[in-house]
Amino acid sequence: MPSTAEERELLDELRELLAATVEDLSVEEVGPDSSLKDDLGVDSLAMLEVIAAIEDRWQIEVSQEQAERLTTVRQIAAHLSEAVAAPAGGTA
């Protein structure tokens, strides 16, 4: 994923959302390539909260299958870029 200003902004917003959603996590700890589980300690319950926060913030729906594939901050950002750009009712 090339680093454009829009993508950096999305990553920053995602980092802030993760820090606000996951207990004992600060924005500084969240890097673009951080593994949610291994690096940030996001367990299955916290992941549900993260997905709910993402759905609420970006007004998208993230299926269980999609959520299971999103294991790093950069993967979530890439998914959001596609989902937000997709027309309503799209399959992103």
Catalytic residues: 43
Rg (CA), the chain: 12
The whole-angstrom separation of Cα 19 and Cα 62 is: 20
Compute how many other C-beta atoms are within 10 angstroms of the C-beta atom of residue 58: 17
